Amino acid sequence: MTEPKLPDAPSTARNREPILRELQRLLKHSRRVLEVGSGTGQHAVYFAPKLPHLSWQTSERAQNIEEVRAWLAHHPADNLAAPLELDVTGQWPELAVDTVFTSNTLHIMPAAAVEIFFRKLPQVLQPAGQLIVYGPVKINGEYIGPGNAGFDEWLKEQDPLRGIRDLEWLDTLAADAGLTRTENNFLPANNQLLVWHKAG
Ligand SMILES: C[S@@+](CC[C@H](N)C(=O)[O-])C[C@H]1O[C@@H](n2cnc3c(N)ncnc32)[C@H](O)[C@@H]1O
């Protein structure tokens, strides 16, 4: 039987190994991860079996959740839960996790949604929990690498509410939510892997 054609986000094949290397370090003592904006679910099906000591909870907006369901159905793992419907601007599920992970989402959702994301995050994040964000940001008003300037322009052509966010702005939103940034890792292709911690 041939595999049905699953939706493909090709960037996940390029960035999953560098992200996984950081996650294996950061999630050593983690037990429960909520992934926000799982996309196709390709990250989840790659990461979860390599992090067998924790459970990985995917989530997506209603309009994209079938893609996650399809990937998880074809690549099940014991520690990979069925996706939850979650639009960060709506009602969040009742959860308690020690880690929230999100990849390539904060430049896609409007700035107003990013604000709501940080405001609602403490509802699900346990004390001493961590937020891990992967994606492009500006630092001190500067793009990381010339490619990101063009990417930002392209994003805004698709939708003027999209755009690469300022790290300092994210830090302010995080601080208002009771989180402090502990890491800024430079990953390939001008992306950052950022970590904030909630007070214990
Ligand atoms: C570029 S995709 C990234 C998907 C995946 N995380 C990845 O790295 O391949 C952006 C994702 O952000 C999600 N997203 C946008 N706005 C959102 C919102 N308000 N709440 C939750 N997810 C949102 C989209 O549904 C989409 O899956």
The domain ranges of the chain are: 11-198
Counting from 1 in the atom list of ligand 1, the atom nearest the Cα of 35 is 6
- Report the interhelical angle of 167-176 vs 111-124 (nearest 10°): 40
Strands 165-166 and 125-135: unpaired
- pLDDT of 70-98, one tens digit each? 999 999 999 999 999 999 999 999 999 99
What is the model's pLDDT at position 7? 93
- pLDDT of 16-37, one tens digit each? 999 999 999 999 999 999 999 9
Q: Whose CA is nearest to atom 26 of ligand 1?
A: 39
Q: Is the CB of 57 under 6 A from ligand 1?
A: no
Q: What is the value of pTM for the model shown?
A: 0.97
Percent of the chain with pLDDT over 90: 96
CATH of region 11-198, choose from 3.20.20.140, 3.90.1300.10, 3.40.630.10, 3.40.50.150: 3.40.50.150
Q: How far is the CA of 57 from the centre of ligand 1 (A)?
A: 15
Q: Whose CA is nearest to atom 10 of ligand 1?
A: 105
